[in-house]
Amino acid sequence: MASVRRAVILAAGLGTRMLPATKSVAKEMLPIVDRPIIQYAVEEAAAAGIEEIVMVLAPDRGAIREHFGGGSHTEAIARARGNAALVERVVAPERLAKFTFVEQREPLGTGHAVQQARAHLKGEPFALLFPDDIILGAAPCTAQLVGTYEGCGAAAVIAVQQVSAAQIPQYGIVDPEAPGNPARLRGIVEKPAASGAPSDLGVVGRYVLGPSIFDQIEKLEPGAGGELQLTDAIAGQIAAGEPVYACRFEGRRYDAGRPAGAIAAAVAAALDREELRTDLLAHLTTLMPREQ
Ligand code: G1P
């Protein structure tokens, strides 16, 4: 049996970068092609063998519960009309895993958000996904991290990718002991200034975490932005001598929490779909500026 059977998905951010679309709709429910942003993370976890997903939600995220729960109005109509194909499409999200929902009542940081899921994780390792990060590619990023976690006997594995100097202050940045992939870490820091950063490898919103992370979360003091930062809890694991690795994953990552990233993710996800690809490519070609 796989060692990592559960995942935590955080959906408790305010989505201010996508206002006004996120004034009444959770940013995780904005569509990329024909599914909400959060469904990409759920599908990635399910493809990695995850069976149970704990979602940490802000208090007003009823639409996310409904999306991964049963009994919608559309389902009732589809059943009444005997439209089995439509029923299948409506119930597809709830069949991806077993879902549990917990609330983070105040936005006190990623460390605090993960703590809300603790009681449902039964002391076992778990995958953690930030749904804003959409990662496309043949091998699910979460599956790559689980492979590293098992192969290295790690206490934590973190997905990283190279970021530009200008982007460094937006990311957790890792400090690898040596080049190579995966790389054991001697440190990790949340959103440093580019001048003092230990590397240019930024943390992407995918992790596999062993249960010792909660010993460190309990000790957290407010960090960057005055919040209880998961990055600081991982730094605590490293300081305690535990083996923590960064994994440069294969895949294309988009920050769907920002307008430009959401548009790029939508175009990329649509081009991956056979039935959309030809027409979309033809349309994009008409938008290309002509050479002088
Ligand atoms: C969070 C993490 C940060 C990570 C980033 C990836 O920051 O705190 O370490 O690099 O996600 O998306 P946020 O984007 O929530 O500010």
Asked whether residue 1 is domain-assigned, the answer is no
Q: Give how many domains the chain has, as a whole number.
A: 1
Q: What is the DSSP annotation of 31-57?
A: EETTEEHHHHHHHHHHHTT--EEEEEE
Largest CA distance in the chain: 63
What is the CATH classification number for the domain harbouring 51?
3.90.550.10
Cα(186) to ligand 1 centroid in Å equals 19
H helix intervals, the chain: 37-47, 62-67, 73-80, 84-91, 110-115, 141-152, 213-218, 230-239, 259-271, 274-287
Size of the chain, expressed as the number of residues it contains? 292
- In this prediction, residue 13 carries a pLDDT of 83
Cα(172) to ligand 1 centroid in Å equals 6
CA 95, 113, 251, 179 torsion-angle sign:
negative
Q: What are phi and psi of 247, to 5 degrees?
A: -125, 120
Asked whether residue 98 is domain-assigned, the answer is yes
Asked whether residue 248 is domain-assigned, the answer is yes
pTM: 0.95
Asked whether residue 292 is domain-assigned, the answer is no
CA distance 87 to 74: 8
- CA distances 212 to 28, 52, 241, Å, are 29, 20, 12
Asked whether residue 69 is domain-assigned, the answer is yes
Beta strands 126-129; 98-103: pairing state: unpaired
Domain that holds residue 74: 6-287
Place of tokens 């440093």: 192
Cα(53) to ligand 1 centroid in Å equals 20
Q: What residues line ligand 1, using a CB cutoff of 6 Å?
A: 110, 130, 133, 171-172, 190, 202-205, 231
Mutate to test the pocket of ligand 1, among 10, 203, 232, 253 (most ligand atoms within 8 A of CB): 203
* Residue 134 contacts residue 87 (beta carbons within 8 Å): no
292 residues of the chain, pLDDT tens digit each: 468 999 999 998 888 999 999 999 999 999 999 999 999 999 999 999 999 999 999 988 889 999 999 888 999 999 999 999 999 999 999 999 999 999 999 999 999 999 999 999 999 999 999 999 999 998 999 999 999 999 999 999 999 999 999 999 999 999 999 999 999 999 999 999 999 999 999 999 999 999 999 999 999 999 999 999 999 999 999 999 999 999 999 999 999 999 999 999 999 999 999 999 999 999 999 998 876 5
Asked whether residue 160 is domain-assigned, the answer is yes
Asked whether residue 132 is domain-assigned, the answer is yes
Asked whether residue 170 is domain-assigned, the answer is yes
If you take atom 7 of ligand 1, which residue's CA is the nearest one? Answer: 171
If you take atom 16 of ligand 1, which residue's CA is the nearest one? Answer: 170
